[in-house]
Amino acid sequence: MVELELTLLGVIVSLFYSLILDGLERKIRAKIQSRKGPPITQTLYDVIKLFRKELLIPSTAPSMFMFAPIVSFSMIIIAYLILPYGFPNPMGFYGDLILLVYLIVASTILLLYGGSSSGNPYAEIGCSREISLLMANELIIALVIATIAIRYHALSLNTVLASLTISPSSILIVLTLLLYIYIESARLPFDIGEAEPEIASGYLIEYSGPLLGLTIYTHILKRTLLYLFTSVVILGLVDNIIQLSDIISRFVTILLFVTLLSILYSIISNICGRFRVRHAVNAVRAIIPLPVLALILSFLGL
Amino acid sequence: MIMELLSSITFFTSTLIRTFLTQNIMWPTFLFTLGILLSLPFKREKCNFILSLFSLISCILIIYLSLRVLLTGKILYFEYVIYRGSIYSRIFPFSKVSLIMDQLSAYFTLILGIVGFASSLYSFHYMTRFYGRLSLRLFSFLYLMFLMSMYLVLISNDVLLFIVFWELTTVSSMLLVAYERESEVARRASIKYFVLANAGAICIIMGLGILVLLTNATSFTEIGQKIDIISENKLLYYTVAMLLTIGFSVKAAQVPLHSWLPDAHPEAPCNVSALLSGVMIKLAIYGLYRIIFTVLQPDIYWGLALAVLGMTTLTFGTMMALIQTDSKKLLAYHSVGQMGYIVLALGTGVHLLAQSSIEARTLGCIALIASLYHTLNHAIFKGLLFLTAGSVLYRTNSRNLNLLGGLARAMPITFITALIASLSISGIPPFNGFVSKWTIYVSTLSTLHPLLTLGAVLAIFISAVTTASFVKYITSIFLSQPRIEVKDVSESPWSMGASMIMLSLLCILLGVYPLAPLSIISSVVGYVSYINPECIMSSIILYPSIVLLKPGVGITTSMSITITALLLLILTLTTLLAFSFIYKPMRITATWFCGVLARNVKYTAKSYYTEFEQSYRLMYSLRKVLYEKIVNPLMRAYPTVTRRYDKIQWEYAFSFILALYALSIILMLLFIRVMLGW
Amino acid sequence: MTVNNDILKIFGDYVIKAITIDNIDYIEVSKDKLKETIEYLTKEYNLHYITSIGVDDRPLTRTLRVYHVFSRVVEDKFIVIGCSTDPHYPHVDSITPVVPAANWAEREIRDLLGIKFRGHPNLERLVLPDDWPEDIHPLRKDVPYNLRSVVEVKVTYPLKRPREHTVLPVGPYHPLLHEPEYFELYVDGEKVVDVEYRGFHVHRGIEKLGESRLTYNQVPFVAERICGICGFTHSTCYCQAVEKAMKIHVPERAEYIRSILLELERMHSHLLWIGVACHLLGFDTGFMHSWRIREHIMRLCERLTGNRKTYGLNLIGGVRRDINKDGVKKAINVLKMVKEELKRFIECLLSLKEVKARLEGTGILPKNDAWKLGAVGPTLRASGIKYDVRANHPYAAYKEASFSIPVYTEGDNLARLLIRIDETLESISIIEQLLDKIPKGDILAKDIEVHEGKIGLSMTEAPRGENIHFVITGKDNILYRWKVRAPTYANLPVLKVMLKECPLSDAPITIASIDPCFSCTDRVIVIDIKNGVMRVTSFKRLLRCKI
Amino acid sequence: MKRIKILLMAKKAGIVTEPYPYKPVEPPEGFRGKPYIDPDKCVGCGSCASVCPPNAIQVVDLIDKGYRRIELFIGRCIFCGRCSEICPEDAIELTKEFELASKSQNDMYQVVLLKMVKCKICGRYFTTQRNIEKLLKELPKDLWDTILVCPECKEKSTAYTGSYAKR
């Protein structure tokens, strides 16, 4: 059962690496805005500072206001447990692709429940916007899962990693995944859920101190989780080209893909403005033909 | 003449009592009738107490009976011959009455028992709101009649009995919907429901009539044995199948015929509407199972047709639910949506079981397991949701989501149970909704069939829509700032609380440890699909890793959902503890309105998903087309007529239905004569 | 003279005085004929309402006087129509039904001087804080300037609240605009249905200060601090008003220096706004780059005047510091570099489709609404009305420079953005022209003597619109009356029209599109109110203006 | 894609952050920083106090101790430089110093104490000694006796001696 220890190692490494990743993204944003920018470990300092701050609870908020972020944080941690870090994960099972998607949806929803439980109208507006995006986005990931299931008869991440081959539908899958990841991680054109100038940071408005630190950390973890998921799929494709045998090099290539993705997304998100809610939902709807084409191709066996 | 009549009646009742007392299958019905008789003489409080008490005991009995059948596998059978060889048998073929509780009906009676138990426990205090306004006697009569007829439908093996009790259910539920007589909307909804339900009943009667007359047998099991006459004549097979599917899909609220449900359920009292959407629409599923598996054998195209029907229902039902602003109407539309899930899984199962290869049949069994398990789950969390809506109605007397708000602190139990129910209906992992939805996706996606994959895609998308609408539901009732004064609202009485807690515990239990219910369900499926349950169970021994007997997929060790749930609990506790160490004492502050004390700042439910609705106008416009062109003209035909004769609309409805009955019987006879040249 | 004898002809017996001082036609009418005269005038001549001024004339003529100031669009002329009322029964006919733009000005006079206006639609309190006692009117001569009011009960200003819509408080402390103002957006779904404004949280009583403690030459330094960004226009406008009242001849070179610095200030104010607009639209990179370009100008001003923003140059009669040779050279190449970098930045900004999509078609201000409600500056010119003080009523050295006035007709947020961009580029060309035409000579008029009772009115084109200073000179070196009307004061009522039916996510950019500077609009000291709910500190929150 | 131009613009502009707190910054030469009263030049005439817009400079005569106290409070000062223009002795100069934040209160104040001179007739202190020396240097000899008399006594004396009326 050596893989079990390695998976746990992979989880711990990616938990800390996600903070460094966010620091890296801040550095890139600073470079694009031609300023020096904070050090790479700035996000780590922020989170630690927030954990030491005092906790403010709105008087009308039920106790769910405190528990929702905690449970949504643990949902994300579980999603990390079933991810294959380059080698078949012993915790994975047939159909855990769907469980992964549901864990991501569950953690966002619980965060929104927590946010709107503060009773602040800004939080509710942010929550309703975030969910409209989530709904529109869900159709895309549903199509992607269907394509993977049809083309590679694989509903578990381990088999996805093992059985992916280079084919038109798999390339389309990767493309759609890249777009899905961009939207799901609420990058700039799509960060209507917590648009700072419009609705005063949406559903995070009432959070302070440790809870705010935890929500920010959950958000960063979710982003890294999505990067990991895509780089697992990409690694599945790359396996057909170059055979990477030992486990450490595969894990390092995954981290490499994750960093590349994060740099690419950070650059893109810094050179565009924010969508109106209607624009965001229409833009997500405009992406739908891509995975539908992938699904049709996979039916034809391509 | 009269003496003869009297003697036959006394003879008839004495035999009736002697035979029925001995059979334990009949005890619940006996208790129901006793309840009705006892509650008639009494008034308000006592009548309500008796009504709830008797329905409580009978529901416990039903649960006991069904569990005994399910666990021991011993089928309860009771047959009673009314009269042998007497002059009437020539004209009237139904000579004997046979009731059977096999695994399939036991499963559905279990659902009836659970939801019936919860709603009767609930009605101890809930009915106090109707004291003085409406007569409790009428309610107890209808309520117990409704429960009894549902129970009898599930256990009747005889076709005539099935139809009679089916009609009885419709009549009693229609009257319950119209229980609050003074509201015009309730009366109109009940008539609409009555007409539509009877239109469906007519199709069922025609289908069953054809079966009975052709095979000359009166009980389902016998028709099942002599089915080869029907099955080799493909046209006859498909007409019967189509007739029965339409008949049952009216009661199962499938899309083109679902319009009665969103009008009828909100008007009924909450404990009845919990029963309505928890159990009554499941009878239609039971009917479909009985017809497909015991009578006509499953067929590939029939399965696909059902799957497509399920797909459209789940899409339109839930999309409509997204934009509702009345709490019970929203829940009713969700019942339509969730029934779509069940029929989709059923269709997949039927489609697969009709094939020959062993893998397909195993996968078919898993699909059936998914559909049955989702029926149970849906009954539980939908019943719970209606009960919570009722408890909110009980305290604030309002269903309008735009005005409610801020009840989380005032009604903690209702809030937590409603939260658990809405989390489980939206399929959040540790709860039961996730397990059944997950199985539906796995089974539909593994079939590699284009239509079923489309069904799976729509199902995953729609589950996000369900989540969205329940976030709106919970936020606008419990979490946001109240617009109307909710100062003096306190928690609802203990009996309502107890029933809600019971159902929510069930939700969690079925989600965290699914192995127990699934073994029961796999025995039911085994009974239904004639594949020995062990082989099915082997595929889901280490649930949910489904070992497909497909070469190449390989056997992967499994991490069952239970382990996921446990992990989740452990993680939450650890983070909770970590929290309690490091952060300083909390400080309670006013909600932040940018430095100003603002009033009525509630973000109304109406304004929640306007953007999403605009962007997906296509789906909503289809509904408008569907309504304007097909359903509304039909609906408009009868109200314009009835509005003019308001007082005699009951007579008109009855005459309309009697005419339909006569017409259907003549048509059926004509059809058989033509088809088989009698 | 034409307007005066026109009035004399019609309202002969009611006219008390009708004289013209260089380009101001001053008419005094009796109290009950005020409304008719204004009604007649606005019908006959194409007048642009500027402001109304209340003066406590009790020491001189034992009356309270009200002046309404209009400007002629066709030619460089002002019309001041005034009337007086006795202090014990201060009632005057309100002109808001005729001139809607006068709504706020009359409410301010009611607050500060206690003159009641009959026929005014909603004569509620505008300027003073909610719990200021009802009877004390700060601008009256008998009220000391450092009065601390005794606080009794906390009265919340009753904003009209429609029931069914969600109320969204864009409150005093909101990340949207870094100044204390209070908008209440009534939201239906993602659409703003109505807006209520309750501002004046930082009203600092500068006018009262100017009349009581400051001497003539100390007032420019206070005038400069009315607004955190457009300080220099205020001090220039004040000095020009006094110079007009005293008929002081300002040396040519001083006028050139004033115009050059006015244009520099317009550039850095517009660049600041473009940055804030990018931030509100989510394009933070645009924010950083536009402020990077702005930094060059701030550095240039620091070199020329010794301070980045409060130049402190203006005195009555001229300027205190000269621009030497290398200062001019330095300015020219800085401007060249800024022009080229700005062109590249604007090209990038307008290439973003989603930013443009959000600006087009939102916050539309129709042309007649703009004119009727008295919008000023870029907000007015974006709705298709060509009215710029630098062209219509030229002052300082604008006569020598030739420049074009950008006008757009759509009246939406995009038009307002494009206008400000064109104006910045236009300013660069103005400065270059003035720099190479700057004459020699001294920079400050010598031996100024100031006598009492003169009236001075001057208008300058601030980056946000026209701003007016009205001055009545008093004895022993202290002003008698000093009225400041900042541009945002005129633009705020227009917001109600622009915000109707605009999507919620574009409400911030629409509110910011008039480039509100609330520190200009508010001018009373907010006393430390100890009422437990909200502690309003007295010093001004200049987060944005502290450069 | 025109958006790439944004990246090019950023690259061309390079990093513009100034390392200010870590490396000192030299303000331009015309910069108006903190005013500094030169104690040995100041004669205590008080003209700067009258012209200062925010009343940052206060001139107080401590009659009992015989000192005139000129106090410059940096907190109120707006660095406009009017005082340095008005001062006849050019005693006040605007330095280039702009880092004025400090923990202790008295860093905010600059106080200059000037010895005062008693009036010959009534014996009260009325002006600073340095002012007297300056007047002695400038005025012709015959007016010297009038210098050491305080304004009030001078008025009283002119009322009946009339000695100045002729001039």
- What are the pLDDT digits (tens) for C37-51? 888 888 888 788 888
Task: Please tell me which residue of chain C has the smallest CA distance to D30.
Answer: C306
Q: d(Cα B459, Cα A139) in Å, to the nearest integer?
A: 9
Note whether A278 contacts C: Cβ–Cβ < 8 A: yes
Q: Is the pLDDT of residue B554 over 50?
A: no
pLDDT tens across C307-356, in order? 888 888 888 888 888 888 888 999 999 999 999 999 999 999 998 888 88
Interface partners of B (3+ CB pairs, < 8 Å)?
A: A, C
Give the predicted TM-score (pTM) of the model: 0.86
Chain A contacts of B370, Cβ < 8 Å?
Answer: none
User: Of the candidates D3, D4, D15, which has its C-beta nearest A34's C-beta?
Assistant: D15
User: Of the candidates C221, C302, C348, which has its C-beta nearest D28's C-beta?
Assistant: C302
pLDDT at B461 (0 to 100): 92
Phi-psi region of B228 (alpha: psi -120 to 50; beta: other; left: phi over 0): alpha
A45's CB contacts (< 8 A; 6+ apart) are: none
pLDDT at B389 (0 to 100): 92
More confident residue, C284 or C21: C284
Note whether D165 contacts A: Cβ–Cβ < 8 A: no
Note whether B358 contacts C: Cβ–Cβ < 8 A: no
pLDDT tens across D3-33, in order? 888 888 888 988 888 888 888 888 888 888 8
CATH entry, D30-160, from 3.20.80.10, 3.30.70.20, 3.30.390.50, 1.20.140.10: 3.30.70.20
CB contact under 8 Å between C306 and D81, yes or no, is: yes
Q: Is the pLDDT of residue C544 over 60?
A: no
CB contact under 8 Å between A94 and B553, yes or no, is: yes
What is the pLDDT confidence band of residue C521, given thresholds at 50, 70 and 90? low
What is the pLDDT confidence band of residue C543, given thresholds at 50, 70 and 90? very low
Chain A contacts of D4, Cβ < 8 Å?
Answer: 271
CB contact under 8 Å between A278 and C503, yes or no, is: yes
pLDDT tens across B367-392, in order? 888 899 999 999 999 999 999 999 99
Closest CA to D77 of D104, D58, D90, D91: D58
Of B553-562, C349-358, C449-458, least confident by mean pLDDT is B553-562
Most confident of B26-40, C159-173, C310-324, C509-523: C310-324
pLDDT at B463 (0 to 100): 93
More confident residue, C262 or C50: C262
pLDDT at B464 (0 to 100): 92
Q: d(Cα B245, Cα B304) in Å, to the nearest integer?
A: 12
- Shortest distance, CA B583 to any CA of chain A (angstroms): 6
Enumerate the domain spans of chain D: 30-160
Instruction: Note whether C501 and C267 are within 8 A (CB).
Output: no
CB contact under 8 Å between A276 and C278, yes or no, is: no
Q: Which residues in chain A (113-172) have CB-CB distances under 8 A to chain B?
A: 113, 116-121, 124-125, 127-129, 131-132, 134-136, 138-139, 141-143, 145-146, 149-150, 153, 155-156, 158-159
Percent of chain B with pLDDT over 90: 20
B523's CB contacts (< 8 A; 6+ apart) are: B70, B73, B103, B533
Helix (H, G, I), strand (E, B) or coil at D93: strand
Chain B contacts of A121, Cβ < 8 Å?
Answer: 480-481, 593, 601-603
Task: Please tell me which residue of chain C has the smallest CA distance to B599.
Answer: C167
Chain C positions touching chain A (beta carbons under 8 Å): 166-168, 174-176, 187, 190, 278-286, 288-289, 292, 352, 354-355, 357-358, 503-508
Instruction: Note whether A253 and A235 are within 8 A (CB).
Output: yes
- Shortest distance, CA A39 to any CA of chain D (angstroms): 14
> How many residue contacts between C and D have a Cβ separation below 8 Å?
63
- Shortest distance, CA C341 to any CA of chain D (angstroms): 9
Task: Please tell me which residue of chain A has the smallest CA distance to B469.
Answer: A131
Of B149-158, B316-325, B356-365, B434-443, least confident by mean pLDDT is B356-365
User: Of the candidates C289, C306, C351, which has its C-beta nearest D31's C-beta?
Assistant: C306
Span B626-633, average pLDDT = 64
Chain C contacts of A29, Cβ < 8 Å?
Answer: 284-285
Note whether C161 contacts B: Cβ–Cβ < 8 A: yes
pLDDT at C261 (0 to 100): 92
Task: Please tell me which residue of chain A has the smallest CA distance to B427.
Answer: A102
pLDDT at C159 (0 to 100): 52
Note whether D78 contacts A: Cβ–Cβ < 8 A: no
- Shortest distance, CA A42 to any CA of chain B (angstroms): 21
- Name the strands in the sheet holding D109-118, side by side, starting at the edge strand that comes first in the sequence: D57-62, D67-73, D109-118, D125-128
Note whether A273 contacts D: Cβ–Cβ < 8 A: no
What is the pLDDT confidence band of residue B19, given thresholds at 50, 70 and 90? low
Q: How far is CA A180 from the centre of its chain?
A: 9
Which residue carries 């009569």 as its tokens?
B141
CB contact under 8 Å between B553 and A128, yes or no, is: no
Note whether A138 contacts C: Cβ–Cβ < 8 A: no
Helix (H, G, I), strand (E, B) or coil at B482: coil
Closest CA to A235 of A39, A133, A88: A88
Instruction: Note whether C465 and C490 are within 8 A (CB).
Output: yes
pLDDT tens across B419-442, in order? 999 999 998 877 888 888 888 888
H or E element that contains A253: helix A247-270
C-alpha pair distances (Å), A297 with each of A165, A167, C49, D17: 14, 10, 69, 52
Low-confidence stretches of chain A (pLDDT beneath 50):
none
Note whether A28 contacts B: Cβ–Cβ < 8 A: no
pLDDT at B564 (0 to 100): 61
CB contact under 8 Å between A273 and C280, yes or no, is: no
Q: Is the pLDDT of residue B89 over 60?
A: no
CB contact under 8 Å between B575 and A70, yes or no, is: yes
Task: Please tell me which residue of chain C has the smallest CA distance to A199.
Answer: C505
Which parts of B25-135 fold into alpha helices (H)? 27-39, 44-72, 88-91, 103-126
Chain D contacts of C225, Cβ < 8 Å?
Answer: 78
User: Of the candidates A35, A36, A271, which has its C-beta nearest D7's C-beta?
Assistant: A271
Which residue carries 């080799």 as its tokens?
B232
More confident residue, C269 or B20: C269
- Shortest distance, CA C295 to any CA of chain A (angstroms): 13
Interface partners of C (3+ CB pairs, < 8 Å)?
A: A, B, D
Q: Is the pLDDT of residue B585 over 80?
A: no
Which parts of chain D fold into alpha helices (H)? 4-13, 47-51, 82-86, 129-138, 144-147, 151-161
CB contact under 8 Å between C166 and B593, yes or no, is: no
Which parts of B218-268 fold into alpha helices (H)? 220-225, 228-232, 234-251, 260-267
